[in-house]
Amino acid sequence: MFTSQISSLKKLIYPYYNKKYQDKYEIKFSLAEFPGARELSELCCGSDISPNFFRFPLTEFPGARKLSELRCGSNIPSEFFQQLSQISHNLRTIFIDFNGLKGLEGLEELISKQKNLKNLAMSTFDVSWENVVPALKSQSNTITKLHLYSNNICLPLSFVSFFINLQEVIFSFPPDDGVDNDFIENFVKIEASHFPRLQVLKIPFQRPKPESLIKFLKNNGKTLKKLFICELESAAISSIANFCLNLQSLFVIFKSNELHLLQAIFIRCQYLESIKIWCGVEYLNETEVLEIVANHSPNSFHELKIYNADSDSNFASPGDIEFVSPEELEYASPGHFEIVSPEDLESEDLEFVSPEDLESSKYLKFVSPKDLESFFISWENRVPKKLLSLIILKKDENKLLDEESMKIAKKYENLGVIKFGTKLYDDDEVEEVFEYF
């Protein structure tokens, strides 16, 4: 069998068990048939496991003793976790997808037996992680990295305060479809907690209430090096400049009237190296952002990511415009068409798109070539000199800059002033938020 030909196996991924499919194609191998798995360090199991896969006692398999990473669902029978807990005590990373109740008792035992658990990630949409919270207390001194992912904002979070040595925490709570939930309700239970080693805080989706976040940053902002968060109230953004003076990397969404808050962060956070900024009609203006960066960013600053939120908007192309005949108007149902009066046509609220605008709309809206070169000149004249990485984030593969702007960017890249690049926005988000998923 092919499994016997694998002499060294470090990582094994066993996906969701489909009995009908695997029985049909006789996929009935067991872990014992992988001689190379004696060096196994990472095991990834799906939401269920074939009975054939562990048809022998795990205690007889020496490779399990060396496991350092386990990814699994909570619906695996408890016997698997109970066997593993007898011999595997040095897991450094555990990722649990709470997708059922079968294995919760065994999971508690496995977690409590670990001696040096560093990284914990938990996700759930249907089952609460509340049952394993008591076992997590046994890891209060060892866990340094925590990632919680769920669409349930009311899940218990108070246990987070157990982990006094946390260095990184990610609260990923995507909004539930059809439910208007703006805040992580239970964040208030950890707002007063103190994490003296916390360096990374990421809240990419739903956010805590402003007063809770401000209190949390007041207690923990001093040690933060990276803050990744979505839209905040102005008061909460101001607290970043007040409490997070050692920041090196920042993402927060500024509204169009909050340019002064960006300036304040640059002036106060003198160790800042990188920032990601949204621009657009409702957000900051690119030209003003470049001016602030050139004149107020600290000497340590060297990376600017810009995303134009308006690039998601689509202009109508000529082929998208449909002309209606008098006959179609006559038989159209009431309310199907809106008749525009001559007065409406003269209104300043209406904007007509010319063929030239339609052609240029395939490029991302950005600064003019003149303003772009002015920024590069200002950056070139800064003292001390530092290479700037300018990254334009985009939603698709369309061109970003017109030819003239691209020539200017290339010119200053050749002069060693900037390093210009582009990146898909979604790829950037995945790297920041979904490390374990």
- The answer to whether 99 touches 129, Cβ cutoff 8 Å, is no
Residue with tokens 């169009």: 256
Give the whole-angstrom CA distance, residue 147 versus residue 164. Answer: 15
Give the residue-averaged pLDDT of 175-203: 84
Coil, strand or helix: which one is 434? coil
Give the whole-angstrom CA distance, residue 82 versus residue 54. Answer: 13
Per-residue pLDDT band at 362 (split at 50, 70, 90): very low
Whole-angstrom CA distances from 326 to 323, 329, 413 are 10, 5, 57
Characterize the bridge pairing of strands 69-73 and 93-98.
parallel
Nearest to 277 by CA among 232, 240, 247, 307: 307
Q: What is the pLDDT of residue 125?
A: 85
pLDDT at 322 over 90: no
Structure tokens at 141: 């001194």
Comparing 37-51, 120-134, 197-211, 268-282, which segment has the lowest mean pLDDT? 37-51
Per-residue pLDDT band at 334 (split at 50, 70, 90): very low
Nearest to 14 by CA among 84, 82, 78, 71: 71
Q: What is the pLDDT of residue 49?
A: 53
Structure tokens at 341: 């009066």
Structure tokens at 209: 């209430």
Comparing 43-57, 117-131, 240-254, 390-404, which segment has the lowest mean pLDDT? 43-57
Give the whole-angstrom CA distance, residue 160 versus residue 169. Answer: 9
End-to-end Cα separation, the chain, in angstroms = 31
Q: Which helix (H) or strand (E) holds 265?
A: helix 259-268
Greatest alpha-carbon span in the chain: 86
Burial (CB count within 10 angstroms: exposed 0-12, middle 13-18, buried 19+), residue 165: middle
- Averaged pLDDT score across all residues of the chain: 81
- The answer to whether 283 touches 309, Cβ cutoff 8 Å, is yes
Coil, strand or helix: which one is 329? helix
Give the whole-angstrom CA distance, residue 200 versus residue 3. Answer: 41
| Residues of the chain above pLDDT 70, percent | 70
Which tens digit of pLDDT belongs to each residue from 130-159?
999 999 999 999 999 999 999 887 788 999
Give the whole-angstrom CA distance, residue 393 versus residue 367. Answer: 14
Q: What is the pLDDT of residue 342?
A: 53
Instruction: Name residues whose C-beta falls within 8 Å of residue 89's C-beta, 6 or more positions apart in sequence.
Output: 113, 114, 115
Structure tokens at 151: 């669409």
Give the residue-averaged pLDDT of 228-245: 96
Nearest to 163 by CA among 183, 193, 184: 193
CA angle 321, 323, 328 (to 5 degrees): 140
Give the residue-averaged pLDDT of 308-315: 65
Nearest to 312 by CA among 393, 197, 205: 393
Give the whole-angstrom CA distance, residue 174 versus residue 152. Answer: 8
- Residue bearing the bigger pLDDT, 339 or 214: 214
Structure tokens at 356: 């030239």
Q: What ranges in 284-394 are assigned the alpha helix state H? A: 286-296, 326-331, 342-345, 355-360, 369-380
- Residue bearing the bigger pLDDT, 302 or 72: 302
- Structural Rg of the chain based on CA atoms: 27
Give the whole-angstrom CA distance, residue 123 versus residue 102. Answer: 16
pLDDT at 197 over 80: yes
Q: What is the pLDDT of residue 12?
A: 55
Q: What is the pLDDT of residue 185?
A: 82
Give the whole-angstrom CA distance, residue 36 versus residue 197. Answer: 39
pLDDT at 364 over 60: no
